[in-house]
Amino acid sequence: MQDNSPNNWKILLEDPQRFQGEILSDKNELWERIYHRLHKKPQRKVLVWYWTAACLLIVTIITVVVFISKGKTHNRVVSEPAIVKTFMPVETGNLSNANENNGENVMSQSTPKNHTAGTIQKNNLPALKKSINTKYIIDSTMNQLPQLVITPITPTTTANDSSAVSSITIAPSSKKKLRVVHLNEIGQPVEEPTVNNRFAEKHGLAWRIINGENYNPVYGSSTNNGLILTKPRSTSN
């Protein structure tokens, strides 16, 4: 009786001599394939990785540079004062008057109505005035800029009190954020007046006489020098 243990199966199936050379058809061909796989140079693969890495590095550097430059620009714009189209400096001693008259353009949107500081004296305001004078705000876009909130000052508080100044806080506006524009970017470019124009502005009358624009000598009229300068009448009338 045949022993049918697993070892018997193993001997039967693992002995190549039992299969009488019918296992591998062409050993040499198989060896050639293995040899080519083993000894081929993966140069192209290395080159591809090299170029991929180089491209990634360049893209990363460009991105970092762009972000850094953007960040610098943003910081510079924020640190610069806001822009002025019309500005009226605070000169009055009374802070309430300043708010009502001069500061309207500046802080009319944000100044509370109940803001009164009657006892603040003129001489005690330099710090506050200075801080306001250095702020330039476009009044046309006032409602879209960060609002300047001034907390009410009690009547006993004086302007040289540091708390009065420190009580001015800028609250971030919840509205749409507008682009901060530099002063030089506003309005049309102003042309430099020529020498003739400057002279004409300064000595308008004499210049017009020299040019003979409105020089109409009228004899018989009662003037000291005998010259009457009148507007030229239109002939149609």
Partner 1 sequence: MIREAKKGSAAAQKCLFDLLSDKMMLVCRRYVKTDEDSEEILLDGFYQFFKNLSSFNYHGEASVYAWLKKIMINECLMFLRSRHSFIIATEQQSEEIPLPDDALNKLSASEILNLVIELPVGYRTVFNLHVIEGFAHKEIARMLNIAEGTSKSQLNKAKLLLQKNLIKNGNDYARQQSK
Chain positions contacting partner 1, by CB under 8 A: 1-2, 4, 6, 8-10, 12-16, 18-19, 22-25, 27, 30-31, 33-35, 37-39
Q: How far is CA 164 from the centre of its chain?
A: 30
Q: Is 127 exposed, middle or buried (0-12, 13-18, 19+ CB in 10 A)?
A: middle
User: Rounded to the nearest whole angstrom, what is the least distance from the CB of residue 175 to partner 1 in the complex?
Assistant: 60
CB closer to partner 1 out of 12 and 195: 12
Q: Which of helix, strand or coil describes residue 170? A: strand
User: Rounded to the nearest whole angstrom, what is the least distance from the CB of residue 44 to partner 1 in the complex?
Assistant: 19
User: Rounded to the nearest whole angstrom, what is the least distance from the CB of residue 53 to partner 1 in the complex?
Assistant: 24
- For the range 179-185, what are the long-range contacts, defined as Cβ-Cβ under 8 Å and sequence gap of 24 or more? 180/77, 180/78, 180/80, 180/82, 180/83, 181/83, 181/138, 182/77, 182/80, 182/83, 183/83, 183/84, 183/136
CB closer to partner 1 out of 39 and 176: 39
CB closer to partner 1 out of 22 and 192: 22
- Give the type of residue at 200: A
Determine if residue 44 is left, alpha or beta; phi over 0 gives left, psi from -120 to 50 gives alpha, anything else beta.
alpha
CB closer to partner 1 out of 8 and 169: 8
User: Rounded to the nearest whole angstrom, what is the least distance from the CB of residue 32 to partner 1 in the complex?
Assistant: 10
CB closer to partner 1 out of 13 and 78: 13
Q: Write down the H helix ranges in the chain.
A: 6-14, 27-39, 43-79, 95-97, 104-107, 126-133, 162-166, 195-202, 204-211
Q: Which of helix, strand or coil describes residue 215? A: strand
CB closer to partner 1 out of 33 and 198: 33
User: Rounded to the nearest whole angstrom, what is the least distance from the CB of residue 63 to partner 1 in the complex?
Assistant: 39
User: Rounded to the nearest whole angstrom, what is the least distance from the CB of residue 2 to partner 1 in the complex?
Assistant: 4
Number of Cβ atoms within 10 Å of the Cβ of 215: 14
